[in-house]
Every structure is written in C-alpha cells, then in structure tokens.
Amino acid sequence: AKPDPLRIMISGAPASGKGTQCELITKKYGLVHIAAGDLLRAEVAAGSENGKRAKEHMEKGQLVPDEITVMMVKEQLLQSDSLENGWLLDGYPRSLSQATALQEFGLQADLFILLEVPEEILVERVVGRRLDPVTGRIYHLKYSPPETEEIAARLTQRFDDTEEKVKLRLRTHHQNVEAVLSMYKDITIKVNGAAPKEDVFAQIDNALSKLLEQRKVTSGTL
C-alpha cells in the first residue's frame, strides 16, 4: 500500500523563518502549504467581513478570533489535495483552543517543527522583509536580496512589518507558545532557526526524510 502522506506543522516566533522554510519544504516534498497568516491576508485583501475583523486584530499583533481562523484552516486541511498529498501547516495552531479544535476534527500531525531564533535577530528580519506580489516569494534586503532590478522594483512590505508591530506580535507569541508546545511534546523537533536558511532546511530535511523512510518500512513499500 502507498504510505500515508506527511502531515507537518511548523511554528516559531514572528519572522523566525516559517514561510521561507515552507517554500523549501514544499518544493522538495510536494506538501500542500497552508499558512494561516496568508489565508487571513487574502481575506483582508478581498475586503470581506471576516477580513475587516481580522485586520483589526492583525494591526494590533493579536490573534484573530478562533471563529474566523479555525474554520478557514479546517476547510483547507480537508481539501482533497491536502488529504492526498499531505499538508504543511504554517502558523497554526497558535493557542490551546486552536490545537484542541484540530484534535476534535480528527486531524493529527506527524511532526511539529519549532524554529528557535533569538529575539534580537527577529526584529531585523521583520524590518528587512519584502514580498514579491508576482511569485509570492519572500525576500530580505540583506539576507535574501532580490535577484534582479525588475523584481526589486516591485517588492512590497506587509502592513504589520514595523518594529513597533513586531514587538506586539512577539508578546502575543510568548503568551501562547508554551501551551501549544505542551500539546505536541512527543512529536516536536527544535531547529536552530538562526543559521543560514539552507542550513536550517538541512536540519528539517533530515527529520522529514527519516520520517518518510519509517513510513515506507511500516507500509511495506521498502
């Protein structure tokens, strides 16, 4: 039988590198990337009622209420693509209630990746981050600069990427992280996220390939 697809969660403070690692992971492992922050920003951009409410919280660096976030993420996790190819859940769950909701839907992850980055690095990463609206790629003016002048000219900045707002986002992160971690102790790997992005990916890649090997052995395909 075909081994079950991977179901991975990735977590870490604001700007710890979740989105960057997700680009690399999906490229190699073909998982469906479900990013709570991206889903919320799409609602904000669409100007929907949920988007308007979400933006009020995002502006303050607070968690968007569960009635908006939980359903949005659940819907993506239950799409046939996610069920068939596996998923990579980015920025969710961020509270005990979000973690409990997943459990109640019967959705379980195989691995919980925690990116650890010292706080002084995070602020610099946020302030220098830029996004390419055409490709969706994440850049950093210093650490991951755009490849061409053409890309450089079209880069945008997120509305919550200021030093003041990242401090509020960090506070929210600290208020919730321990409770979330306690739910996933048995499946957590801690990764040093302060290293260059290729080195961070090497640590994650190693853990994922081991997991896949185990899968193949238990499903009898190896």
Catalytic residues: 18, 94, 129, 158, 169
> How many whole angstroms separate alpha carbon 218 and alpha carbon 222?
8
Residues 137, 132: Cα–Cα separation, whole Å: 5
Helix (H) / strand (E) element for 95: namely: none
- What Cα–Cα distance (Å) separates residue 119 from each residue in 15, 26, 67, 108? 10, 27, 30, 30
Where are any strands of DSSP class E within the chain? 7-12, 32-35, 87-90, 111-116, 129-131, 138-140, 188-192
Q: What does the DSSP assignment read for 107-122?
A: ---SEEEEEE--HHHH
Kindly tell me which residue out of 6, 8, 9, 16 binds ligand AP5, with binding defined by CB under 6 A: 16
Could you tell me which stretch among 55-63, 149-157, 203-211, 214-222 binds ligand AP5 (CB under 6 A)?
A: 55-63
Shortest separation between residue 132's beta carbon and ligand AP5, angstroms:
11
Tell me which stretch binds ligand AP5 (CB under 6 A): 25-33, 106-114, 122-130, 207-215. Answer: 122-130
- 14 makes contact with ligand AP5 (CB under 6 A): yes
Q: Which stretch binds ligand AP5 (CB under 6 A): 18-26, 80-88, 101-109, 147-155?
A: 18-26
Of positions 19, 43, 76, 208, contacts ligand AP5 by CB under 6 A: 19
Instruction: Enumerate binding residues for ligand AP5 (CB under 6 A).
Output: 12, 14-20, 36-37, 40, 57-58, 61-64, 69, 91-92, 94, 98, 125, 128-129, 138-140, 143-144, 169, 196-197, 200
